[in-house]
Structure 1
Amino acid sequence: MLGHCLAMPGAYLDHPFHPEHTAVRLKTPSMDKGRIFAEVFTLRGVDVATLRCEHDAALTYRDMYPGVVVRGYHCPPAEARYANTMPLDGGVPDGHLIEMTDEAYDFIRAKLPRYRQAELAGLGDG
C-alpha cells in the first residue's frame, strides 16, 4: 500500500506522531508542509491504515465491511467522519484498498487551491 501511495505525484513519507506511525502526505513544490491522506501504523498488535475520504464514501465502506472498516482512529471528532481505519490483514480486498487509497489522494488533492493542483499536474499527474 505504501508503494502505491508513494507512486502518486507529490506524495512523501512523514512521521509526525511517532516513529512507528507513518503518514503519507501530499505536497506541491510551493507548499512548506503537505497534507496527510494516508497513515499506516500498528494498533493493538495489528497493522492498520487510516485513509481520508468523502463522508458518504466513508459510510459506504463502513457498511460494506462492518466491524472491519471503522471511523478514523485517533482523528479529531470533526475529521473522523472523513477517515476510515482498517486492518491490512486482508479483511478488505486489495482492489478496494487501492481504490480507497486513490480516493484518499484525490480527496486531499481536491482541497488544494487550483494553482497547487496545476503544480501536481506538472509533476506527472496529467
Structure 2
Amino acid sequence: MNVEEIKQYCMGKENAYEDYPFGDIPICYRLNGGGIFAQVYPLEGDYKITLRCETEYGQFFRTAFPDIVVKGYHCPKMQQPYFNTVYLNDFEDSNLLLDMIDHSYNEVLKRLSKKKR
C-alpha cells in the first residue's frame, strides 16, 4: 500500500485525525485526542508503520514475518511488546495490513475512558 492509501484508510476510522507531534515524520493517527494508533514513516528507503498491538497478536506477526514485522523500533524496551513496526517495502499483503491497522485502532479505543469514546 502506498502512503496515500494508508492515510485515507486511517482517516476513515471514526474520530481519527492526523497529527504531527514529533515534527514532519512520523505522520501520526490519533483517536479522540487520545492514543496514537498508527505512525507512518513515508521515507522511500525506510517506509514503515508502527502500530499498537496486543502482545500475543504482535508476537504472532513477528514470528510469521521475521525482519519485516519487528517490535516497535522506537519504543522503550518495556513498551516494545505492545507495538509492531512493519517495514512496508517488504510487506505485500494489503488486506493483512488493514487488519493490523484495525487491531491497533481497537486497542487504542478500548483503552479510552467511556467519556472519550
Deviation sequence 1:2-40 (CA, Å, 0-9, x none)? 21111011111111112131110011xxxxx32101000
- The sequence identity of aligned pairs, in percent, is 34
1:88 corresponding residue in structure 2: 88
Q: Distance in 1 between matches of 2:23 and 2:87?
A: 19
Q: Distance in 2 between matches of 1:84 and 1:92?
A: 16
Count of aligned pairs: 112
* Amino acid in the other structure paired with 2:105: Y
Task: Give the C-alpha shift of residue 92 in structure 1.
Answer: 4.3
1:38 corresponding residue in structure 2: 38
Q: Would you say the 8 A contact 1:72–1:81 is kept in 2?
A: yes
2:27 corresponding residue in structure 1: 22
Segments of structure 2 that go 5 or more residues without pairing to the other structure are 1-5
Choose 1 or 2 for highest CA Rg: 1
Q: Give secondary structure in 1 for the equivalent of 2:116.
A: helix
TM-score under structure 2 normalisation? Answer: 0.87
Task: Give the C-alpha shift of residue 110 in structure 1.
Answer: 0.4
Task: Give the C-alpha shift of residue 114 in structure 1.
Answer: 2.4
Q: Distance in 2 between matches of 1:77 and 1:10?
A: 30
* Amino acid in the other structure paired with 1:14: D
Q: Give secondary structure in 2 for the equivalent of 1:86.
A: strand
Deviation sequence 1:36-87 (CA, Å, 0-9, x none)? 0100014682210001010111000111111110010211222211010012
Q: Distance in 2 between matches of 1:83 and 1:2?
A: 19
Task: Give the C-alpha shift of residue 91 in structure 1.
Answer: 1.6
Q: Distance in 1 between matches of 2:21 and 2:115?
A: 26
**CA-atom RMSD in angstroms:** 1.6
Structure 1 residues 57 and 92: alpha-carbon distance in aligned structure 2, compared to 1, 3 A threshold: farther
State the 4+ residue runs in structure 1 displaced beyond 4 angstroms: none
Q: Would you say the 8 A contact 1:65–1:92 is kept in 2?
A: no
Q: Give secondary structure in 2 for the equivalent of 1:77.
A: coil
